[in-house]
Amino acid sequence: MIETKTALPNELDLSAYWMPFTANRQFKANPRILVSAEGMHYTSADGRKILDGVAGLWCVNAGHGRKEIAQAVERQLQTLDYATAFQMGHPGAFELAARLARIAPQDLDRVFFVNSGSEAVDTALKIALAYHRARGEGHRTRFIGRERAYHGSGFGGMSVGGLMNNRRAFGSMLPGVDHLPHTADIGRNAFSTGLPEHGAELADHLERVIGLHGADTIAAVIVEPMSGSAGVLLPPKGYLEKLRAICDRHGLLLIFDEVITGFGRLGTAFAAQFFGVTPDMMTVAKGLTNAAIPMGAVIAKRGIHDALMTGPEHLIELFHGYTYSGHPVACAAGLATLDIYEREGLFERAASLSSLWEEVVHTLSDSPYVIDIRNLGLVAGIELEPRPNEPGKRAYEAMVDCFENGVLVRQAGDIIALSPPLIIKEAQIHQIVDSLSAALSRVANRDAIRGGLG
């Protein structure tokens, strides 16, 4: 086992905190504790600077410690800490919704606020059901997700998601959910730069699923335009266009889960604009507030919203929401974040860095165990050959090695994912890739020693 050198702040008791999506026992034996952050760097408990190669969790797109956001949050807390969310309003929520509508794809201009990506997904699924019902098509109740998708950890998102480990312990989930095949195909697309050539025909499975269940039983199809959490799975050229066409042909709503791809990750405000494919709803979170305050949203086509604005005007149209929907402090953080993106041209910056990013990450093709590299915008996935009988162990060791040497990368199974803040500098791109290359060499050396001893 690799020992981390992190010193703990005095008397920090690790036992009570049950950590999310973490190997708790392994972590607590060798904790990695972060104590502050600024710009592109974290500081660890033992005072080391750690270059953030994953923007926190794909969310700190404008870099850490942005004073403008902190000041906006403080101002808001001192003015209006909380406003009753149901049957009351406050200016920030209306302002932020209007700002989001301005940068969203055409026709998507109605915004429902939530507190996370998971809540955004469950909300979008509920809106889809309510929309069809309002139009007299309440028989459309099925959802179609995709293998290896991640749509958060609520029951809805887990059900349309396609990651076995996230599903197997949790029973039968939502009924009436089917899945499309995932789009990873290393056999045909290994080491593609940008969008892979092969696999648009995988979208045709949607026709087969429709043939099995009947179009009039299906409410919506939900996909990540680019899957992040499963380890950066890209849509083949033409794939999303085909999904859109099939959904149109059969009256199915198309939901893009843009929780990772939203707010500049691919060099445009949203992936929908990058691909030129417009969904009926988008789910967003993460970069919406630069992760400073939890917040998510569903951005829906006006027609979906309007279809629900029926019945007596004194009655609630959609029986859904959260105590913290449109929380004033989150809205203040969101507005300050959008200001930064705009003022600093960060989406354009991501676009202009993406070819250098592509070139540099693909130099890892010479490193040990690398069987595929995928990139798009400021995202990359480096897939490793798994160690026999120890799935995920090699990538874990590489991640820990990078951390010990001052770079934070993310591990998903045997894939290393990279998604730095959009403010990254050229030298820092090299630092991330050099660190990963050195880590993989050290992992290979240790494997060789182990093999020699064995």
Ligand X SMILES: Cc1ncc(COP(=O)(O)O)c(C=O)c1O
Buried b (16+ CB within 10 A) or exposed e, 145-179: bbbbbbbbbbebbbbbbbbeebeeeeeeebeebbb
Nearest CA-CA partner of 368 in 260, 427, 310, 447: 447
Report the residue from 151, 242, 244, 327 that binds ligand X according to the rule CB under 6 A.
151
Report the residue from 63, 105, 145, 152 that binds ligand X according to the rule CB under 6 A.
152
| Residue 334 found at the interface with ligand X (CB under 6 A) | no
CB-count exposure of residue 350 (10 Å: 0-12, 13-18, 19+): buried
CA distance 439 to 123: 41
Q: What is the DSSP letter of 231?
A: T
| Residue 121 found at the interface with ligand X (CB under 6 A) | yes
Pairing of strands 218-223, 142-146: parallel
CB of 444 to ligand X, least distance (A): 30
Cβ pair 263, 274 in contact under 8 A: no
φ and ψ at residue 233, rounded to 5 degrees: -105, 125
Q: Sheet of 177-180: strands edge to edge?
A: 108-114, 296-301, 281-284, 253-257, 218-223, 142-146, 177-180
CB of 259 to ligand X, least distance (A): 4
DSSP string, 41-97: EEEETTS-EEEESSHHHHT-TT-B--HHHHHHHHHHHHH-S----SS---HHHHHHH
CB of 330 to ligand X, least distance (A): 12
Quick one: which segment of 34-42, 192-200, 222-230, 403-411 binds ligand X (CB under 6 A)?
Answer: 222-230
CB of 120 to ligand X, least distance (A): 7
CB of 136 to ligand X, least distance (A): 31
| Residue 224 found at the interface with ligand X (CB under 6 A) | yes
Residue type for position 401: D
CB of 217 to ligand X, least distance (A): 25
Nearest residue (CB) to ligand X, 121 versus 416: 121
Q: Look at residue 296 and give its three-state secondary structure.
A: strand
Q: Which of residues 280-309 bind ligand X (CB under 6 A)?
A: 285
Quick one: which segment of 149-157, 203-211, 362-370, 405-413 binds ligand X (CB under 6 A)?
Answer: 149-157
* Closest residue to ligand X in the complex (CB): 117
Size of the site for ligand X (CB under 6 A): 14
3-state helix, strand, coil in the chain (%, to 5): 40, 15, 40
Nearest residue (CB) to ligand X, 224 versus 404: 224
Q: Which of residues 254-273 bind ligand X (CB under 6 A)?
A: 257, 259-260
| Residue 252 found at the interface with ligand X (CB under 6 A) | no
Report the residue from 123, 189, 229, 428 that binds ligand X according to the rule CB under 6 A.
229
Cβ pair 403, 53 in contact under 8 A: no
Can you say whether the dihedral through the CA atoms of 51, 57, 62, 66 is positive or negative?
Answer: negative
Nearest residue (CB) to ligand X, 222 versus 443: 222
CB of 289 to ligand X, least distance (A): 11
Report the residue from 4, 118, 159, 375 that binds ligand X according to the rule CB under 6 A.
118
Report the chain's terminal Cα–Cα distance, integer Å: 16
CB of 243 to ligand X, least distance (A): 16
| Residue 122 found at the interface with ligand X (CB under 6 A) | no
Nearest residue (CB) to ligand X, 137 versus 147: 147
Nearest residue (CB) to ligand X, 321 versus 368: 321
| Residue 433 found at the interface with ligand X (CB under 6 A) | no
Report the residue from 4, 61, 76, 116 that binds ligand X according to the rule CB under 6 A.
116
Quick one: which segment of 27-35, 47-55, 93-101, 110-118 binds ligand X (CB under 6 A)?
Answer: 110-118
Which residues, including other chains, have CB under 8 Å from residue 197's CB and lie 6 or more apart? 188, 189, 236, 237
What residues make contact with ligand X under the rule CB under 6 A?
Answer: 116-118, 121, 150-152, 224, 228-229, 257, 259-260, 285
